[in-house]
Chain A
Amino acid sequence: MTATVSAEAALALGDDALVLSHRLGEWAGHAPVLEEEVALANIALDLLGQARVLLSQVGDEDELAYLREERAFRNLQLVEQPNGDFAHTIARQLYFSTYQHLLYGELAAGGGEFTALAAKAVKEVEYHRDHAEQWTLRLGDGTEESHGRMQRACEALWRFTGEMFQPVPGLELNWTDLEARWTTSVTSVLDRATLTVPEGPRTGAWAAGAGRQGLHTESFGRMLAEMQHLHRSHPGASW
């Protein structure tokens, strides 16, 4: 770890990318259509690339990914949520990629430790956000069935969205402004998709939000077990 990099910030951003990458990778072999499977795998690989750069700034990337216990992960609870149906995956993508796009945009312009990574990644994430928007519009403004599923997905994941704007130590950003821009952007997409912006709380009692402190939801343990078991069973294995 170099002295200039805030390890905590690199872990937070890196774990977000790693965990979401793994979740999206779970669609391989299960996506609704072949074309979409490749699209999701593409996004997963972009995120994995970001995770490798970020985790390498903190320590050994393999050790960090495969040998940390659940409570040592600093990712948002949003990204660890199970894929659910396709609408849940798209809602998760819309919420997260809108956030990541704004965040990397700020970091790329900010001249801090993450400038180089953010400048490259912001273009990738712009595509992820566009992909999620296109699907939200089509599912929301599609059939009665797709509209209903997309609305349920947006509502189910809404309580995980407040956590994104907890300030991350090491990132000097205007988090209030970031949240306002996120809300404007997501509201605009949901409106055009004929969906209703969920009204539930995003912070406080019923909202989620301790992923950055190492507290995670039930399904995350299972995901980690699957992600880590090969490395733990065969330490140092390679192709």
Chain B
Amino acid sequence: MRALEGDFRNPSGCAISAVISRSGERMSGEKIIESMKPMHERSNGLGGGFAGYGIYPEYKELFALHLFFTDKAVRHECETYLRGELELVKSEVIPTRTIPAITDEPLIWRYFVTPLRSVLSSMQVDENEYIARVVMHINTSIKGAYVFSSGKNMGVFKAVGFPEDVGEFYRLEEYGAYSWTAHGRYPTNTPGWWGGAHPFALLDWTVVHNGEISSYDANRRTIEMYGYTCTLQTDTEVITYIADYLLRKQGLTLEETASVIAAPFWSTIEARPEAERKQLTYLRTVFPSLLITGPFSIILGFHGGLMALNDRLKLRSMVTAEKGDRVYIASEEAAIRAMEPDAENFYAPAGGEPVIVRVREGCC
């Protein structure tokens, strides 16, 4: 049997792209799909995917779980497990379009769920932690089932294929999101299954990433201490867990999180004013093993915003631009021009400089 993603480490090159409306206006998936076309060369047809925020307004209080199943029997097994753990409000097949470019699809389902209050109070955990544990359980213990999206009012759509075909396959033009992120993958090895495509998601966090991080195993072995299990051996997976750990579990701000994972050099820290120097020194001292080295450009999606971040040496390309209330981020300017030919204020963020864009309060 051929090895599946997760059994081996699979270095990948990539294209990433994102758009967000600061006024919370919902955009169909067409433009973000367009953005991936000029970056076709940055993918090799072995993975593409999208994340949309604000796509399930009618179920916004519920967690939307997107799952791949290898067969019906696994789906039944998994649904039985879900029913025991959660209240299943709605379950349905994710609508897709049959196109020649996308083949070998697994069963693709989504479930709108909510944890049982009584269970939460008896386990003394909040709903996010509970859902995270359910996701970890399914992904590590139910063979043939894989949760690839688990946040509220958001969803990930991914497959083996070129990203523009993946977008067409999932009929993304039918969804409206206030922010979209997209990923085209150039893995060095065949991932073998769809779970290896990106974005990678946990709860509301999604990560699209371009690069190969050299700190991977230091990061993985550290984050696995905190209840995460890295099943895919991909950078994106471990970056997502780090983001979840620092933002949700440790309560750091996005800026603080950026200064952990792309920490300024000590020489830079020493030159900063005292209050800032103390905080940066503190964060580097406390979380040394969550520093990510090697090339990366990532776009972290979350409820109500996006954060773009480069590694501290800026070893991967990434540019941002604006037009009206929209902000665009992509590996290449061409991708942004494909979305908005008149985009302005093009800017290449420095290594380790986070670009954080939020939807205005009350707009999402």
A and B co-occur in one complex: no
